[in-house]
Amino acid sequence: MCGIIGYIGPKSVAQVLIEGLKKLEYRGYDSAGIAVDDENEIKVRRVKGKISDLEESLAKSPLQGSYGLGHTRWATHGRPSEENAHPHRDCTGSLVVVHNGIIENYLPLKKKLKDEGHSFQTETDTEVIAHLIEKYFQGSLEEATQRAVQELEGAYAIAAFSTQDAPKIVATKVGPPAVVGLGENEYFVSSDINPLLSHTQRMVFLEDGEIAVIEPEGVRFSDFKGSSLEKRVDYLTWTPLMIEKEGFKHFMLKEIFEQPQVVRDTITGRVSLDSGEMCLDEIGISAEFLKKIKKTVIIACGTSYHAGLVGKYFIETLADIPVDIEYASEYRYRDFILDRETLVLVISQSGETADVLAALRAVKKRGAVPLAICNVKNSSIAREAEGLLYTHAGPEIGVAATKTFSDQMAALALIALHLAQLKEKVDSETNFSLIEDLHRIPYRMEKILSQAESIEKLARRFISFSHFLYLGRWVNYPIALEGALKLKEISYIHAEGYPGGEMKHGPIALIDEKIPTMVIIPRDRVYEKMMSNISEIKTRLGYILAIAFEDDKEIQDKVDKVISIPSTNPLFTPFLTTIPVQLFAYYIAAMRGADVDQPRNLAKSVTVE
Ligand code: F6R
């Protein structure tokens, strides 16, 4: 949902901003712009389109400056256009602002500012921030920003500079993330750590209501009242190489192939193959509390919700605890009931999804002790949750989540085993066998990835279909949902995921030769039921692709095509069935020429409601 970057230092400012924006582009990509201070004159360049268009424009006519700001946009207020692209200026043209988030009261503010004589150039909510800072400016950008933010309602990460109080960048946030990078005689502000990794690993994460004043000599921090703050410096271990494609055509493909390793990384050290014990003290939620819980509520959005749905099956099956799974965007507005014996799990790759963050805050208000599963270190959700289990997937750049999905399932399997042990729901033999199965998952994932070429060949046949159906049951029902989501979000083919048993209640009416169905059918407790679903579809001339165990001979002549996966404990099959649905969606989208890593209308972290 928009990316912001600011730089002050000796390097080429435009170059640093462009390189930074490329690493933030996954957050939004309908328009982009930079502003630099060139000897006390602000030079702005904005384009409708991608960072490459901005780069082209700058190559034709370069901008020089000693510090500056950049922005990549995901439109909320005002269509994508050059005028609505950030940075935005005040009336004098001596101040610029970039913003990530939504100013909810921008219409009354705009009216008031207009009545006071300010003139507006854009349809955006952001422009009110520039005019508000202008209104309160009396020589100190920091003080004017402090006063301006008092009037803002909504969510914002803002960075601004003014030629009348220079050289200086002021940044602040309420809601969306902002991180300050501390280099050698150079300083940065950014929406996330990705643009900073090639310059420094020393970062300071801003909390809501904090202001950073970035100058050539260093960075100062204060709160909205102007009191100075001492902030902790974090050393990030992610490396710049982690955010390169490394020979893969798209980040998504690279990230699909990283799955065995990231699952390994997430499991390693947290469960012992020797003793069969879990080592999850790091989560920060006491074993005494977990032993007593009677219920679990899982809250998430999108793909993380699908991982949560898999987690429901893990926890119910292994730990014998009832689990409710909720969309954060619904839950936050519900009159939900929570008691002290409920474990709340919030799942978010980015740790910044606005609805998940709001739901987390709502459950904390009701006295719950939420445990978060996050991938991004020091993200807002990671910081605000009471308990925390990080997935070790590294940065995920493709907008469609893949490796973080598998990693979230791995984290949920660990939590389910932990609860099962604490509640004494598994005997030692079963426990060892589950742990062994879990450790073997990455090897089995590798085996499926080695068949990528044949999945690519298969996908070629389907590139011109307009509709697709995905069916799964029990623990693979969430994978049917995830498969459909992957296909629609990156290839723009309409796809629906259904539990197989629901077919008869409506969707079967859709079946004909024009709608292929992907059936996920490992040998598990619903295998025979899925077989019946298959014959119902075949009777109606539907084409069927099945994902099934490699030793399943029975399926071969019941369907049109089979993608084989190695046999494993049925409960853990989602780790394996996920890979073919991801690869299938990826190849179809890539062959259709879609922008796989940056699908239209989407952004990686949804920091607005
Ligand atoms: C789909 C996808 C989204 C995210 C959702 C939640 O491929 O990536 O559906 O899963 O926006 O994001 P996080 O996990 O960052 O809260």
Which tokens go with 62?
Answer: 């370069």
Residue 608: pLDDT over 80: no
Q: How, if at all, do strands 295-300 and 234-235 pair? A: unpaired
Element (H, E) at 126: none
Question: How many other CB atoms are found less than 10 A from the CB of residue 97?
Answer: 31
Looking at domain 3-237, its CATH superfamily turns out to be Aminohydrolase, N-terminal nucleophile (Ntn) domain (3.60.20.10)
CA angle 217, 193, 220 (to 5 degrees): 30
pLDDT for position 78: 85
Sorted by sequence, the CB contacts under 8 Å of residue 377 that are 6+ apart come out as 193, 234, 236, 238, 390
Sorted by sequence, the CB contacts under 8 Å of residue 297 that are 6+ apart come out as 323, 324, 325, 326, 331, 336, 338, 342, 343, 344, 345, 363
Ligand 1 atom at minimum distance from 486 CA: 7
pLDDT for position 25: 86
Q: To test ligand 1's pocket by mutation, which of 304, 407, 586 has the most ligand atoms within 8 angstroms of CB? A: 304
Q: Which of 486, 484, 489, 485 is nearest to 515 (CA)?
A: 484
- What spacing in Å lies between the alpha carbon of 381 and ligand 1's midpoint? 14
Q: Does residue 589's CB lie within 6 angstroms of at least one atom of ligand 1?
A: no
**292 classed as catalytic:** no
pLDDT for position 239: 80
Prior bond of 167 cis (ω within 30°): yes
Residue 273 to residue 277: CA distance in whole angstroms: 8
Query: Can you give the three-state secondary structure of 46-69, one letter per residue?
Result: EEECCHHHHHHHHHHCCCCCCEEE
- Window from 25-39, 123-137, 410-424 with minimum mean pLDDT: 25-39
When pLDDT is cut at 50, 70 and 90, the band that residue 385 belongs to is very high
- Contact between 98 and 84 (Cβ < 8 Å): no
Residue 454: pLDDT over 90: yes
Q: Does residue 400's CB lie within 6 angstroms of at least one atom of ligand 1?
A: yes
- What spacing in Å lies between the alpha carbon of 255 and ligand 1's midpoint? 15
* Atom 16 of ligand 1: nearest residue by CA position: 348
Residue 603: pLDDT over 90: no
What are 157's strand-pairing partners?
100, 173
pLDDT for position 80: 87
Ligand 1 atom at minimum distance from 399 CA: 8
**604 classed as catalytic:** yes
When pLDDT is cut at 50, 70 and 90, the band that residue 178 belongs to is very high
Residue 99 to residue 160: CA distance in whole angstroms: 9
Q: Does residue 483's CB lie within 6 angstroms of at least one atom of ligand 1?
A: no
**pLDDT tens digits for range 399-453:** 999 999 999 999 999 999 999 999 999 999 999 999 999 999 999 999 999 999 9
Ligand 1 atom at minimum distance from 381 CA: 16
Residue 307 has φ and ψ, to the nearest 5°, of: -65, -40
Sorted by sequence, the CB contacts under 8 Å of residue 67 that are 6+ apart come out as 6, 7, 8, 9, 13, 36, 37, 161, 167, 169, 216
Average pLDDT, the chain: 94
The length of the chain, given as a count of residues: 609
pLDDT for position 378: 85
Residue 131 to residue 473: CA distance in whole angstroms: 55
- What spacing in Å lies between the alpha carbon of 373 and ligand 1's midpoint? 13
On the question of a common fold for 245-449 and 451-609, the answer reads: yes
CATH topology of domain 245-449: Rossmann fold (3.40.50)
* Candidate list 2, 173, 403, 488, residue with the active-site label: 2
Look up tokens 């044949």; give the residue: 454
- Window from 5-9, 338-342, 468-472 with minimum mean pLDDT: 338-342
**pLDDT tens digits for range 211-253:** 999 999 999 999 999 999 999 999 888 887 777 888 899 999 9
pLDDT for position 607: 75
pLDDT for position 532: 94
Q: Does residue 302's CB lie within 6 angstroms of at least one atom of ligand 1?
A: yes
- In this prediction, residues 276-294 reach a mean pLDDT of 94
- Contact between 41 and 62 (Cβ < 8 Å): no
- In this prediction, residues 511-516 reach a mean pLDDT of 92
- In this prediction, residues 482-496 reach a mean pLDDT of 97
Sorted by sequence, the CB contacts under 8 Å of residue 115 that are 6+ apart come out as none
- In this prediction, residues 295-314 reach a mean pLDDT of 98
Q: Does residue 301's CB lie within 6 angstroms of at least one atom of ligand 1?
A: yes
Supply the DSSP symbol for 197: T
- What spacing in Å lies between the alpha carbon of 70 and ligand 1's midpoint? 25
Q: Which of 138, 190, 186 is nearest to 165 (CA)?
A: 138
- What spacing in Å lies between the alpha carbon of 83 and ligand 1's midpoint? 30
Residue 449 to residue 563: CA distance in whole angstroms: 12
Helices (H), 376-402: 380-384
pLDDT for position 459: 97
**pLDDT > 70: what percent of the chain?**
100
Q: Does residue 577's CB lie within 6 angstroms of at least one atom of ligand 1?
A: no
Which tokens go with 490?
Answer: 């990156």
- Window from 25-29, 47-51, 473-477 with minimum mean pLDDT: 25-29
Residue 309: pLDDT over 90: yes
Q: Does residue 303's CB lie within 6 angstroms of at least one atom of ligand 1?
A: yes
**pLDDT tens digits for range 76-129:** 888 888 999 999 999 999 999 999 998 999 999 999 999 999 999 998 999 999
Domain definitions of the chain by residue range: 3-237, 245-449, 451-609
- In this prediction, residues 561-586 reach a mean pLDDT of 98
Multiple choice CATH, 451-609, 3.30.300.30, 3.90.940.20, 3.90.1150.10, 3.40.50.10490: 3.40.50.10490
Single-letter code of the amino acid located at 345:
L
Which tokens go with 142?
Answer: 């920091």
Q: Does residue 359's CB lie within 6 angstroms of at least one atom of ligand 1?
A: no
Residue 369: pLDDT over 80: yes
- What spacing in Å lies between the alpha carbon of 604 and ligand 1's midpoint? 7
Q: Does residue 375's CB lie within 6 angstroms of at least one atom of ligand 1?
A: no
pLDDT for position 540: 87
- What spacing in Å lies between the alpha carbon of 301 and ligand 1's midpoint? 6
Q: Does residue 489's CB lie within 6 angstroms of at least one atom of ligand 1?
A: yes
Prior bond of 370 cis (ω within 30°): no
Q: Which of 149, 160, 168, 161 is nearest to 208 (CA)?
A: 149
- Contact between 9 and 216 (Cβ < 8 Å): yes
